[in-house]
A and B are shown apart, each in its own frame.
Chain A
Amino acid sequence: MATVPADKLKIIQRFGPHQNFMRGDQLSTSVEPDRLVKTHCCFCGQQCGIQLKVKDTPEGGEVIGFEPWEEFPFNRGMLCPKGIKRYLQGAHPDRLLTALRRDEGAESGFSAMPYQQAIEHVASEIGRIQKQHGNAAVGILGGASLTTEKTYLLGKFARVCLKTPYIDYNGRLCMVSAGAANKKAFGIDRTTNPWSDMVGTDVIWVAGSNVAECSPITTNYLWQAREQGAKIIIQDPRITPAARTCDLYLPVKPGRDAALFAGVLHLMIENDWIDRDFIREFTVGFEQVAEYCKQWTPAHTAEVSGVPERPIRKAAELWGTAKTSFLFHARGIEHHSNGVQNALGTINLVLASGRIGKPKCGYGTIVGQANGQGGREHGQKCDQLPGWRDISNPEHRKYIAGVWGIDEKDMPGPGVDAYEVFRKIDAGEIKGLISICFNPIVSLPDNTFVRRALEKLEFYVAIDFFLNDTAHHADIVLPGSLHEEDEGVVTQVEGRVIKINKAVDCPGEARQDWIVIQDIAKALDRPKGFEFRAPREIFEELRIASRGGVADYSGITYEKVERQMGVFWPCPSHDYKTGEPVPDHPGTPRLFERGSYNPTAKGAGPFYFSDGKARFNVADYRVPVDDISEEYPIFLTTGRVISQFLSGTQTRRIGPLVEQYPEPRIEMHPRLAAKLGIKDEDWTTAETRRGSITLRAMVATTIRPDTVFIPYHWPGKKSPNQLTVAAQDPISKIPQYKVCGCRVCKAEAAPEYASQLEPQQ
C-alpha cells in the first residue's frame, strides 16, 4: 500500500521541508571549532574542497561553519553558495532520527519505529514478495550522490543478496547520454583532460551548460582562459551569466543541437579546417559522417537550429582554425531523446579537429551530481558491473562472480533503466521497491505517472536523512546518513578520485547507509558478502573488482588520494604491459596521449578499442518527441538555479538558499509576454499534453521568445515535471527534459497552494 497515508499538508507540517538558519554556536562569534575536517562539498560534480568547522558535543559533534580549503587544487578555496551553506543541513529540525512506519492513524501519516524492528519488517516484506513473485519482483533505485563504496555495495546487494536484475540509479537522469557517447566514440567514459588544460587554449566551446549556475567553479577556468586569449563560444537558448560576455553566443532552438554540430562540421570540411593526418591515423568512420554532413548547409542548419548563418560560420571558423581547444557539454544537449546523438555531434567536432590527447586540447562532460562520474562506474547501473564492466559480457561476469564468491550462473542479467522500473511497477511486475538517494516523484518526467506507479507498490522502503517527497509513499523509512556523517571516495568532474571525510556521527538511530544495506542483508539471513566493518574494507574489495576493467581503481588507496589530493583513474596496481606491480602509479590526468598504453588496445593506439582508434559516429538529428505544434506552440525547457540542487531535499531545507531564489517562476521573453498579456510577477499557467502548472512569470530578454524555462527543484504543484515528457533516448534512456511543446496563458487566479505552502514546500 504505497498511497500517501495522510493529508500532504500534515506530512509537510511535521517533516518539512522547513528552513533552517544559523543558530546557537553557528551564530556565535566567540565559539572556536574543536576540529577542522578537510572534505568536499556534498552537492555538484565539481566536488570543491572545503573544511568543516566541527564543535565536539556529547552527541558526536556539530558542524558550526566552514573554512575555505585553499590548498585543494581544483577549487583553491572557491565555493558556490550551496557549498558555503551546506552545513545547515546538519542538526536540522527535519532530520530523521528514527525509522518511520506508515501509519494512517497518525496525523502526520507516520509513526516512529525502533530501527531493528524496522529492518526486520523490511526483510520480511522483501522475503515475502520474492517468495511469492520471484526475485525480480523487488527493484532498487540508487543515486549518484552516494560515495563510490555505497554504489558498489548497492550493485552487489542487488545481484548477490536480492538476486534481482532491477537496479538502476538517478544518474539515468544525468550522465548517461554523455556516458553512452563516450563509450561509442572512445571506448572509455571519462572527461579526457584536467580542467587546468582549459587555460591557454585558443577556443572553448560550451554546449548546453549553464556553467555559472550549475558548475560555478568552472567559471573561473573559463574566465582565466579568456584572459590568456581564448575565445568562448556558448550554445544555449538562454543568455546565461557566462554567455553575457562570451565571444560568440549561439541561441540554439531547444532540441536542435545535433543539427548545429553537423552544420559546423560541414563548414569545417568545406574549408579544410580538419586534421586529416589525425583522422587517418587515429580514427575510423569519418567518411560516413562527412557524407551525412553534406546535407547540413549553412542555410539548412540555420533554418533547423534557429541560429543564423553568420554565427554558424563564425563558430566553424573559430573552432576550425584553432590550434588548441576545449569542448565541454552538459544536460542542455544531453537531456534529449536525441541526447547520445547530440553528444556524439560534439565528439565529431573534437575528433575532426584532432585536438585531443594533448596538453591544452581536451573534451569533457560536466557531471551533475557529487559522484556523477564514480557513481556510473561500479555497478549500480542496470547493465553494469564494477570497473565499468558489462553485465552481459561472459568474461566480465566470470571475473566479478569470482570476486564476489558466487556462481556466475546465479548472477542476474541486465535490468532496465530507472523510468522503466516505474513502468514495470505500473504493469505489476515489480511489487517491492528500495530507494536511496533518489527522489523520483520530483525528478522524473511526467511525474503524475510516477505517482500512479508508486501507489501500486505492495511494499516500498526509502532510505534517507530527510523525509523526501517520494518517501511520503513509503511503508518504511530508514534513517540514513548525511554526507558529513560518513567517509568514502567519489570521482569528480575531471575523473579525479577524492576522499570524503567524516566530520560528525549520525544522530539518534540514524545509521551510515552502508550499514543500513548490510543490516537488511543480515535480516534476510543472507549476510555473506555484506559483513564489511568500514568503508575502507568496501573500497579494498572495489579495488580488486575494478582491477583490469576500464575504470581501474586497483592502484588507488585512501592514503594516495589524500597524499596527492586526488588520483585520476585509470590507476592500475599492476603494469598493463608487463603485469609487474606498480604501487606508485600516480594516476592518469590526461587520456589518449600519443604512445599511451591501455589494456583494451594493448599498444595499438591511444583509444580504448582493440585497434586503438577513436570512432566517428553519424550524429543524426531527429525532431524531438512532442515537439511544438499548433496546439502547443511554445518550447518548454527546464533546468537549475544556482541556489538549489536537484530535487531540493537538502537545499530546500537551508534557509539562506531558499531566500536566494524562493520559488520557481516561468521565465519568458518580453515579446512573448506582451503577446500573451503577461507582466512580470503575474500568475501564469503553462500546459502540456501531460499537465499544467501555475507559477509567477519572470519576464526577461535573456531567453528565446519562442521558449519558456522553469527550474525543476520543487515538488507537487510547483514541479515542472508534471509537464515534461517521458520520451527517452533509445540508447542512453535519458529523459527528454529539455524540450517539449507547451502553451502558456495568464492564470485567472492564484493557485490554491499559494496560500497553504511556504515557498520551499
Chain B
Amino acid sequence: MKPAELHFFIDPNRCIGCQACVQACSECDTHRGESMIHLEYVDRASSVQTVPVVCMHCDQPTCAEVCPADAIKRTADGVVQSARKPRCIACGNCVMACPFGVPEVYEDRQLMMKCDMCYDRTSVGKKPMCATVCPSQALFFGSREQIEQMRPQSMPANTFRFGNQTITTRVFTMIPKIGAQKQQYIDVTAAMDEEAWPRNVRLNVIGDAPLPSLTEAGLPLDPFAEMEV
C-alpha cells in the first residue's frame, strides 16, 4: 500500500495506559532516548482512563503558522515535521499555540521536537513505532478500509473545533457510533450498588470545578455513601 493511503487512528477507549508507545517512541532512530508521545491519566484518583496524544498533523498546522523562524514544515504527504534544527530559535510559540498540546521545547538543545509520525518509517511504508507495538491497538496505523472493517462500532473523525478555530488533521480519532457509547466503570462502589448499577460517574477532568454531588447531577443518591468500611 502507498504511504499516502495509510492513516493513523487513535482510540482512547482502548487505551490501557501501559506506556508501550512512550517507551517505543524513545527507541526511534531519529530521536533515540526521547519520547514524543504524551500519555496521561485523565484523573487517576477517579479512573484508570488514560489518553495517548501524538501529533495530529493538522492540514493547516497552527504551530507552523505561528513560527517566526519558519522552522516547521509540512511534507507533501501531510506530515508535519519536527522543527528544523538550523532554523528553530526555541521561542516556544508553537508550544503555546498548538491546540492539542503536542510540541515541546528541549532547553538543553534549544530545539522544539515533536512527533513526526516516524517519518523515517512511514515514508518507506512501515508503521510508526508506537502504533506497531501498542498492545491494545489504541494506536492503529492502516487504511480507511481496514479500520472500517475491523472497528464497526466506532467511526474515524478528523475535524476538531477549538473556539472559533476549526482544524482538520491527518490523524483520526475514533468516536463510538451512536448506541455503542458505553458507560464506564469508574468507582467500584457503583458496581457494588444493587439499585444504581451500572451508572456513569463524571470524571473530574483536570481544571474542572469540584464534582457536584450526585443528586445535583440527577443521579441516584449513593446508598453506600455511609457504608462502614
Interface residues of A (CB under 8 A from B): 21-22, 26-29, 65-66, 68, 70, 75, 77-81, 84-85, 212-213, 216-217, 219-220, 223-224, 226-228, 237-247, 249-251, 306-311, 634, 642-643, 656-657, 660, 669-672, 675, 680, 699-706
Contacts and interface: CB of A to CB of B under 8 A. Distances in A.
Given A241-B16, A701-B188, A220 B132 contact: no
A238 B132 CA distance: 29
Interface in B100-154: 127, 129, 132-137, 150-153
Contacts, number: 176
**At the interface, is chain B mostly helix, strand, loop or mixed?**
loop
A308 B182 CA distance: 21
A669 B33 contact: no
A672 B229 contact: yes
B188 A239 contact: yes
B187 interface: yes
Q: Among the interface residues B49, B50, B135, B187, which one has the most CB atoms of the partner chain A within 10 A?
A: B135
B29 A29 contact: yes
18 contacts: A27-B33, A29-B32, A66-B27, A68-B132, A81-B22, A84-B20, A241-B50, A245-B13, A245-B185, A249-B185, A251-B191, A307-B192, A308-B192, A308-B197, A311-B191, A701-B47, A701-B188, A702-B188
B188 A223 contact: no
Contacts of A216: 16, 18, 20, 135-136
B46 interface: yes
Give the top 3 A-B pairs by smallest Cβ distance, nearest first. A212-B16, A216-B135, A241-B16
B40 interface: no
Given A213-B16, A701-B186, 20 more contacts: A22-B33, A65-B32, A78-B20, A78-B133, A79-B133, A79-B135, A81-B20, A216-B16, A227-B151, A239-B188, A243-B185, A244-B186, A249-B191, A251-B188, A310-B197, A634-B229, A671-B229, A701-B45, A703-B188, A705-B224
B227 A705 contact: yes
Nearest to A84: B23
A669 B152 contact: no
Nearest to B138: A223
Interface string B35-72: 00000000011111110000000000000000000000
Contacts of B187: 239, 701-702
Interface of B: 13-20, 22-24, 26-27, 29-33, 44-50, 127, 129, 132-137, 150-153, 182, 184-189, 191-194, 197-198, 201, 224, 227, 229
Contact of B229 (A28, A237, A675): A675
Contact of B23 (A70, A223, A656): A656
A66 B29 CA distance: 11
Contacts of A226: 153
A244 B192 contact: no
Given A701-B46, A705-B227, A245 B136 contact: no
Contacts of B44: 700
A702 B18 contact: no
A224 B132 contact: no
B133 A213 contact: no
Contacts of B45: 670, 680, 699-701
B188 A219 contact: no
Nearest to A48: B135
Contacts of A223: 14, 136-137
Contacts of A79: 20, 24, 133, 135
Contact of B48 (A21, A239, A672): A239
Q: Among the interface residues B45, B137, B151, B229, which one has the most CB atoms of the partner chain A within 10 A?
A: B229
A244 B20 contact: no
Contacts of B29: 29
A517 to B, nearest CB: 34
B229 A219 contact: no
Contacts of B20: 78-81, 84, 216
Q: Among the interface residues A77, A85, A700, which one has the most CB atoms of the partner chain B within 10 A?
A: A700
Contact of B193 (A65, A81, A246, A308): A308
A222 to B, nearest CB: 8
Contacts of A307: 192
B186 A704 contact: no
A220 B137 contact: yes
B18 A642 contact: yes
A669 B32 contact: no
B47 A244 contact: yes
Q: Among the interface residues A79, A245, A669, A705, which one has the most CB atoms of the partner chain B within 10 A?
A: A245
B170 to A, nearest CB: 22
Contacts of A68: 129, 132-133
A228 B47 CA distance: 26
Contacts of A241: 15-18, 48, 50
Contact of B19 (A81, A237, A244): A81
Given A84-B27, A239-B186, A78 B137 contact: yes
Contacts of B182: 245, 247
A81 B129 CA distance: 12
Contacts of A29: 29-32
Given A84-B27, A308-B197, A671 B19 contact: no
A322 to B, nearest CB: 18
B193 A643 contact: no
B185 A239 contact: yes
B184 to A, nearest CB: 5
Contacts of A700: 44-46
A705 B48 contact: no
A461 to B, nearest CB: 35
Given A227-B150, A245-B184, A77 B23 contact: no
A728 to B, nearest CB: 29
Contacts of A84: 20, 23-24, 27, 133
Contacts of A705: 188-189, 224, 227, 229
A635 B183 CA distance: 28
B27 A310 contact: no
A311 B193 CA distance: 10
B135 A219 contact: yes
B16 A22 contact: no
Given A81-B19, A220-B136, A671 B185 contact: no
Contacts of A212: 16-18, 136
B50 to A, nearest CB: 8
A249 B201 CA distance: 15
A14 B224 CA distance: 52
Contacts of B189: 669, 671, 701, 704-705
